[in-house]
Structure 1
Amino acid sequence: MASAVQTAFDTAERARHFRFSDLEAEGWQPFVARHAAGLSLADIEALAEAIGKQVGYEPGSDLRSFVRRIGGNLSTSLIGDLSDASPTGLYVRSASTDFLIAIPAASSSRFDQFMVAKALAHYFLHFRSAGHSSRRKVENGDISAIEQEAVIFAVTFLMPSAAFEHAFARTGGDIAALAAHFRVPVAVAEVRVKRFSVPIERAHA
């Protein structure tokens, strides 16, 4: 059961509802990645861990307040008027590194945690690296490579290797316990276990 403090925090975090026209008027546009970063999954994991350390993210802490701390913006999409629906995810401004992350008005804090991390992945991998020479264009609308990059970045950012290995050993690899520890959906913890299982097996072989 959520504490009174956490309930109050969630209410405050969701205080600013918006419509797409509100964001558009402020110069925000939904970011749609057109190019994959072109990095190996191992390089993406290394980048996610490096950025997490650089910006001082503490695994398991609330990512929504963290976004504001690093200068980002966070808003909650308004549910109701479908003619002015507000897409969730990453928003950016033209000729600027400003970013805003829109989360659904009705979702769990664990889902929000992953959604925010995935938006950060698109920001660092696909928006800020616009001039990176290794980027490759995604043909025929196939966004699977872009989404895979974002998911691997997000999962690693939320559950970096050292913290995850320690939690894995402490919980005996229990998926539900790992998800609760890092405040992520169970499905996200499962992805991390699958990515992390090879180095764990090698380390203990």
Structure 2
Amino acid sequence: MRIGRHRTFISAWVAVKFASDLADHFGYRPGDELSGIVAKLGGRILSQNILDFGKFSSSGSIRIEREGNFEILLASHTGRLRDRFTIAHELGHYFLHFIYARRNGAQIERMEALRYGSGQVEWEANWFAAGFLMPANAFREAHVSLSGSITRVADRFGVSSEAASTHDVGREAVRIMFSHKLSAKLIDQLSLQRL
């Protein structure tokens, strides 16, 4: 199954909160490497030369064979910051569009997210990546302690200045409470104690 055939319609607030909670669950701290988390989940990170994209059946950024067996493909010409966001983005597909979808009745045997995709599922994976790499509370604290310097905030979280500048600092209390309840429900449905 290609990812474009299934839609979860997760809001930005829920995706960010859910990802922040997952990061906490895995003991991730801003700036940490992601390879250990990917390995713990049964995944592998591979590098793919840009000239080889057309030589494969597809140029997917994540290929999921089953829960606990997936590959994240990174372009060999990108840098560390871009790769970190890509890995977190692909983990968003893994959790939101594969595991969560399957545990809620979707008949998905295997899945592949295509590189350069667009649409709602890509937005959801981007929101997830931002929430995972820049958890809301830590981001707010860094934003204040670093006097709003986007460059310094980005450095602290190991993300690009663009990613840091577009991350929402001003969440409303009602949305946070709503997101917290839905995030707790998602985590419960994913049975994280098994991960």
1:92 corresponding residue in structure 2: 64
* Structure 1 residues 173 and 133, CA gap change in structure 2 (3 angstroms): same
Q: Is the 8 A contact 2:63 2:71 kept in 1?
A: yes
Provide the secondary structure at the position in 1 that maps to 2:144: helix
SS at 2:170's partner residue?
A: helix
1:155 aligns with 2:130: yes
2:28 equivalent in structure 1:
57
Asked if residue 177 in structure 1 is aligned to residue 149 in structure 2, the reply is no
| CA drift at 1:166 | 1.5
> What residue in structure 1 maps to residue 43 of structure 2?
72
Distance in 1 between the 2:36 and 2:104 partners?
Answer: 33
In structure 2, which of residues 70, 88, 95 is the aligned counterpart of residue 124 of structure 1? Answer: 95
Q: CA deviation at 1:90?
A: 0.9
Instruction: Assess if the C-alpha contact under 8 Å between 1:33 and 1:127 holds in 2.
Output: no
Match of 1:144 among 119, 123, 128: 119
**Which stretch shifts more, 145-154 or 72-81?**
72-81
How far did residue 160 of structure 1 move?
A: 0.4
CA distance in 2, matches of 1:126, 1:81: 26
Distance 1:71 1:132, change over 3 A: closer
Runs of 4+ in structure 1 deviating by more than 4 angstroms, as ranges, are 132-135
Distance 1:152 1:134 in 2: 23
Q: Residue 60 of structure 1 aligns to a residue in which SS? A: coil
Q: Any conservation in 1 of the 2:48–2:76 contact (CA below 8 Å)?
A: yes
2:134 maps to amino acid: M
C-alpha separation between the residues in 1 aligned to 2:59 and 2:171? 37
Aligned counterparts of 1:82 and 1:132: Cα–Cα separation in 2: 32
CA contact (8 A) 2:67 2:99 kept: no
Quote the residue 1:191 is aligned against. 166
Shift of 1:31: 5.2
Identity of aligned residues (%): 28
> Which position in structure 2 is the counterpart of 1:20?
none
- Contact 2:49–2:77 (CA<8 Å) still a contact in 1? no
Report how many aligned residue pairs link the two structures.
162
Q: Alpha-carbon deviation of 1:39? A: 2.4
* Change in CA separation of 1:167 and 1:111 when aligned onto 2, cut-off 3 Å: same
Q: Check whether the contact 1:45–1:152 (CA below 8 A) recurs between aligned residues.
A: yes
Moved more, 114-123 or 75-84: 75-84
Partner Cα separation in structure 2 for residue 98 and residue 160 of structure 1: 26
- Deviation at residue 82 of structure 1 after TM alignment: 5.5
The residue number in structure 2 matching 1:12 is: none
Say if 1:181 and 1:37 are closer, same or farther in 2 by CA, change over 3 A. same
- SS, match of residue 196 in structure 1: coil
State how far apart, in whole Å, the 2-side matches of 1:83 and 1:150 are.
24
Bigger Rg over Cα: 1
Per-residue deviation, residues 72-124 of structure 1 (Å, max 9, x unmatched): 2111113434641562511111x544111111111110000000000000000
- Over 3 Å counting, the alpha-carbon distance change for 1:176 and 1:98 in structure 2 is same
